[in-house]
Structure 1
């Protein structure tokens, strides 16, 4: 395994500046991950705010029940014992519960959480426990019900869980039928290329999948299989038992809803004034809470002192909403802007591991933390990798390619290479022919128009038809050249489908099982041996 630091742009100027510590970002965030002293300051503040969080022992009991069911590793139970200690802190981060663990970035985020907890514990000399927050309360089913496989096709092929829920409910509440699970497993088996560990991988997935009623349960079992040995504690944000503990926090969010809304609006204005784009919508009159009504997750809004959804299914006064919370806390759910507040109200979060998009929208929440008497934690960018297999590396070297020029765009490089394979320079010949056609024919058309004006339009149409035929012939020549070099062009395509599938970074498309089927689980554990690298957050791993 050869590791090379690389640059992978985030697509968000705000996140880029936060990572670099440049621009006006320090006004928008509390601490910075590059400042060692900030971790010590944050730890001290967490000690002072212990009573503002949910009872630690009750939380540990809840997490123990969940992990005993889905993540029952000795090291996880030990992590929970450590979390029960009054001086224990947490490094956390989370993701939606995607099919077959979802995208590679989920694995990288979990690895970052564990590595950061280990490092912080050594630095601070006190327990720091890694916790992965499964965003099971999210309802975007189409975002989590699929993964992609690299086959012999020109691009990544989707494997989809074809179950379609009747209502827009939290993913952790959507039951899966055995038939739909079996269908997805068979589709994965069919598409996943034959490899040394394929049978073992399929059995691992089948065991977790078939023992689970919901997608989030299967996700937890698969994630635990990779990281339970490192003591990674799992938390499902839709866990009904956890929701009971969260009721006092929801009460504070409802009672302080006006102040929270004003805080989000003020932060949004500050971000835009600093020259950045908002990465999450801050809606005027939004309550930033969901209510689950007859199996459907409804976003609440405020109007004329009442709380309701846009379609008019529910309508509460503040007092009625608080009474409903008292009776049915399981019906309440966070949105993207209140989840950070809930996380900090449950856990003593030293730092939270985020992707660049998350870093951008977390800037909207800083003032809201203060409304609840809390404080934004240190935001730590997750580690990022691109896996390069030996045959892909061989082709890259043959064509003189490196990671950076591939990320800038492979197709232009491929087209340039193909043009260079034409010793007759026919593309130039066609261009000259086309230019000469216009040069010679245009004056003839103009002179014909002196005889009858309608001949000008007729001549132009005739000229354009001839140009179209030239284009057609040029395209056929290009196709013939591609067929002649078909074998080599497939090597170019392999580079693209491996490193930039669907035109996106690899870590945002493929599942880890694409690689463990070839290299075994040892690949993940080798990656766990890599240190955190705060200077080069993206690294290319040549397998």
Structure 2
């Protein structure tokens, strides 16, 4: 593969807030701690405090979650977390079917590469890449499918509640048995696991264990016990609601759109296939859509005895993560990066360290046949992200033997009618109105001629135009960026070293958009555009 990079602003895919963060605009500096540059990590390493007792709990629970784990990079990384000079870098994601879209893979590869790069620059410390499983999420419709070879495959089940607890039922077993193209490790993950969280752990471990990736399930009673003070404060005092709303107001005054909106209580109640919001009504706490209610002293006892039943929402999950991990950085997509800025005041209030927030690497892969077509048409990397109709018109215009807008002809026509206008004034000024109207009609007629020229030229270039549409549909299937649509199997089944090759091209501290062009040329070159 050949690597090219381009400015994210060229793609049209990112919000102004995200792009301004990458530009390090002064107006945003109050919404994060430090900008992610390699030299800034030294300060964070000295500041980040994570107590020995928390480390002991974390390591003990990781061993328990993994169960049997042979000696290797993962087990050594887990054991290293007991040491005060070991820190984590983390990404999180939903429990997608068969890994879901490509960017799931990109998130983890970016995180692993960051751990490696930090070790190179700070050899006296250890850095553990962590994948946080979003096992408590209950939006099954977002994760119950994947796309391969243009076909959507769906797991149908009527199970409810946190998806990590879903049993690998008849529906998923039948689906897996029907998919002959699935590699053995994916089939085994779903056929031998008991619950969805087991399957995800198995396939992620298979793909990334050789790089030492540690998989953490935050849905853990012992870990949530570390979070009890925050659970109580949010449930009974609702500080986060006020703090996030204040940040939202500040960001909106700067002209940015906010995407995370807090609740008075930012926890769900989770039990026996249930995950529903907790609300307070007339002095009584209750779970919406359920017959579950508590008085204040009863709820306090429930939190103390069963902290695992209290599931943080999108506002509280990052704080929970940073409470139970010795974490330096979080890597996510553009929307994730942006919403962390809404949370800085919560971290300050609870005196929890705010991590570096990094965008994961963004990637577009052009297959060999598409790479050939791009070169033949002379398209630039920025061209690939343009609307296809705009691109079509641009291509036809720039490759025509003459300017299809007919600017010279329009100029001469305009000059001619200017002369007629002046002559009319010398004869009868009332004629000038007629001359001006005739000039307008003539320009419109000439514009219609220009449009006919363009269509005729487009027809003459029908083969090239068809290739443009083929390129766009391959790279943006259904007008959606490839990395958000296609499954990694699209490339992995052709080359089972696909993920390993990504490590060579990913740079977690370079936030430019990556284009990887598959080519007949062996090896790989690199250039920056």
Partner in structure 2 of residue 498 of structure 1: 474
Selected match of 1:393 from 371, 395, 414:
371
Partner in structure 1 of residue 121 of structure 2: 123
Structure 2, unpaired ranges of 5+: 401-451, 519-529
Query: Is the 1:289–1:300 Cα contact (8 Å) retained in structure 2?
Result: yes
- Asked if residue 219 in structure 1 is aligned to residue 200 in structure 2, the reply is yes
Check 1:420–1:363 CA distance in 2 against 1; reply closer, same or farther (3 A cut): closer
Check 1:261–1:29 CA distance in 2 against 1; reply closer, same or farther (3 A cut): same
Partner in structure 2 of residue 16 of structure 1: 19
Partner in structure 2 of residue 62 of structure 1: 61
Alignment of 1:292-331 (within 5 A): 292-311=270-289, 313-331=291-309
| Residue 243 (structure 1) shift | 2.5
Partner in structure 2 of residue 2 of structure 1: 2
Selected match of 2:324 from 325, 342, 346:
346
Q: Distance in 2 between matches of 1:28 and 1:318?
A: 34
**Greater displacement, 246-255 / 97-106:** 246-255
Q: Distance in 2 between matches of 1:371 and 1:308?
A: 26
- What is the TM-score with the length of structure 2 in the denominator? 0.80
Check 1:282–1:328 CA distance in 2 against 1; reply closer, same or farther (3 A cut): closer
Query: Is the 2:90–2:331 Cα contact (8 Å) retained in structure 1?
Result: yes
Query: Is the 1:6–1:403 Cα contact (8 Å) retained in structure 2?
Result: yes
Q: Distance in 1 between matches of 2:388 and 2:166?
A: 40
Check 1:418–1:50 CA distance in 2 against 1; reply closer, same or farther (3 A cut): same
Q: Distance in 2 between matches of 1:5 and 1:488?
A: 25
Selected match of 1:32 from 31, 35, 53:
35
| Residue 379 (structure 1) shift | 0.8
RMSD of the alignment, in Å? 3.0
Query: Is the 1:290–1:334 Cα contact (8 Å) retained in structure 2?
Result: yes
| Residue 531 (structure 1) shift | 4.8
- Asked if residue 263 in structure 1 is aligned to residue 255 in structure 2, the reply is no
Check 1:63–1:282 CA distance in 2 against 1; reply closer, same or farther (3 A cut): same
Partner in structure 2 of residue 437 of structure 1: none
Query: Is the 1:19–1:381 Cα contact (8 Å) retained in structure 2?
Result: no
Query: Is the 1:73–1:229 Cα contact (8 Å) retained in structure 2?
Result: no
Partner in structure 2 of residue 471 of structure 1: none
Partner in structure 2 of residue 207 of structure 1: 188
Partner in structure 2 of residue 458 of structure 1: none
Q: Distance in 2 between matches of 1:533 and 1:103?
A: 19
| Residue 204 (structure 1) shift | 2.5
Query: Is the 2:366–2:515 Cα contact (8 Å) retained in structure 1?
Result: yes
Partner in structure 1 of residue 174 of structure 2: 182
Selected match of 1:236 from 217, 220, 223:
217
Partner in structure 2 of residue 373 of structure 1: 351
- What is the TM-score with the length of structure 1 in the denominator? 0.78
Structure 1, unpaired ranges of 5+: 151-155, 190-197, 423-473
| Residue 419 (structure 1) shift | 11
| Residue 131 (structure 1) shift | 0.8
SS at match of 1:525: helix
**Greater displacement, 222-231 / 490-499:** 490-499
| Residue 277 (structure 1) shift | 1.0
Check 1:4–1:58 CA distance in 2 against 1; reply closer, same or farther (3 A cut): same
SS at match of 1:277: coil
Query: Is the 2:176–2:190 Cα contact (8 Å) retained in structure 1?
Result: no
Check 1:179–1:315 CA distance in 2 against 1; reply closer, same or farther (3 A cut): closer
Partner in structure 2 of residue 537 of structure 1: 512
Query: Is the 1:161–1:184 Cα contact (8 Å) retained in structure 2?
Result: no
Q: Distance in 2 between matches of 1:384 and 1:72?
A: 33
| Residue 509 (structure 1) shift | 0.9
| Residue 541 (structure 1) shift | 0.6
Partner in structure 1 of residue 146 of structure 2: 147
SS at match of 2:336: helix
Partner in structure 2 of residue 138 of structure 1: 137
**Greater displacement, 60-69 / 354-363:** 60-69
- Per-residue CA deviation, residues 159-195 of structure 1 (Å, 9 max, x unaligned), is 1112232x3x111011121443332552x44xxxxxx
SS at match of 1:176: coil
Q: Distance in 1 between matches of 2:482 and 2:177?
A: 22
Query: Is the 1:290–1:332 Cα contact (8 Å) retained in structure 2?
Result: yes
Query: Is the 2:157–2:171 Cα contact (8 Å) retained in structure 1?
Result: no
Partner in structure 2 of residue 273 of structure 1: 253
| Residue 107 (structure 1) shift | 0.8
Partner in structure 1 of residue 107 of structure 2: 109
Query: Is the 1:98–1:145 Cα contact (8 Å) retained in structure 2?
Result: yes
Check 1:338–1:72 CA distance in 2 against 1; reply closer, same or farther (3 A cut): farther
Query: Is the 1:341–1:369 Cα contact (8 Å) retained in structure 2?
Result: yes
Q: Distance in 2 between matches of 1:491 and 1:180?
A: 38
Partner in structure 2 of residue 527 of structure 1: 502
| Residue 295 (structure 1) shift | 1.8
Q: Distance in 2 between matches of 1:310 and 1:105?
A: 34
